[in-house]
Amino acid sequence: MFDYSLVHWVSFFTVSLLLHLSPGPDMAFILGQTFKGGKVRGFSAMGGIWLGAICHAMVAAFGLSAVLMTSASAFLIVKWVGAAYLIWLGIQALRSKGSSFLSSDDPSSVPQANNWKVFRQGVMVSLLNPKVAIFFMAFLPQFVVAGAGPVSAQLLLHGFLVVLIAGVVEPPIILLADRLVGKFRESKKFGLWMDRCLGGLLIGLGIKLASSER
């Protein structure tokens, strides 16, 4: 079971790594939260995105993502709910006063409730993006090998590995982003500016999702 060639693994990990390095809504959300509230919030957002991705991988493994690929109505419902959620988050950020932009010098000063809220938002941002579901359904089957085990088990294995690769790529990016803006984090004016940027980014992602096609 799970008997793959070296070429298989090299191809899979290379493509997965390149996909994680390319910009997308998930990375934009993670970086936005990192710039806004430091590495603690960045890691909270990352954890939420990961959980959402794992759910998509599990759904794809058992074939349920096919519904989004074949049903225009299902795709539209998920797309519009996801777009509305992103736009709502953006409006909330635009209405804030910048006071949530905390210093990264003391990670313990970041309110745990805020971290949990960002984690939940990350989960929803991932789950409510039908493009992520379709990505897993289209990408993972390319690495199913006849005789290597049950198809669902192979899909699940490769889906979890996609998330595992994110664990190699994303934490260093978060730490670098936090370091770049750390010296500005004491400024409430800069915090207000970052809230506005994050709000605009989220609204832009929502509009982009709303205009996407299957």
Question: Based on the number of CB atoms within 10 Å of its own CB, is 144 exposed (0-12), middle (13-18) or buried (19 or more)?
Answer: middle
Say if residues 83 and 173 touch (Cβ distance below 8 Å): no
Query: What are the tens digits of pLDDT across the range 18-33?
Result: 777 766 778 888 988 8
The more confident residue out of 130 and 108 is 130
Say if residues 49 and 188 touch (Cβ distance below 8 Å): no
- Beta-carbon contacts of 202 under 8 Å, excluding residues fewer than 6 positions away, are 29, 32, 86, 87, 89, 90, 93
What is the reported pLDDT for 95? 75
Which one-letter amino acid corresponds to residue 72?
A
Instruction: Please state which of the ranges 47-51, 105-109, 157-161 shows the lowest mean pLDDT.
Output: 105-109
- Beta-carbon contacts of 68 under 8 Å, excluding residues fewer than 6 positions away, are 74, 75, 78, 130, 133, 134, 137, 214
Query: What are the tens digits of pLDDT across the range 146-196?
Result: 888 887 888 889 989 998 998 888 999 999 888 877 666 555 666 667 677
- Give the other-Cβ count within 10 Å of 37's Cβ: 27
What is the reported pLDDT for 113? 55
Q: Can you say how many angstroms the Cα of residue 93 is from the centroid of all Cα atoms in its chain?
A: 18
Instruction: Please state which of the ranges 55-59, 79-83, 144-148, 151-155 shows the lowest mean pLDDT.
Output: 79-83
Q: Residue 53 above 80 pLDDT? A: yes
E strands in the chain: none
- Give the other-Cβ count within 10 Å of 211's Cβ: 9
Structural domain boundaries of the chain? 25-210
What is the reported pLDDT for 120? 92
Percent of the chain topping pLDDT 70 = 73
What is the reported pLDDT for 209? 67
Give the tokens for residue 39.
């590495």
What is the reported pLDDT for 44? 94
What is the reported pLDDT for 186? 57
User: What's the mean pLDDT in 31-57?
Assistant: 89
What is the reported pLDDT for 74? 66
Which one-letter amino acid corresponds to residue 65?
S
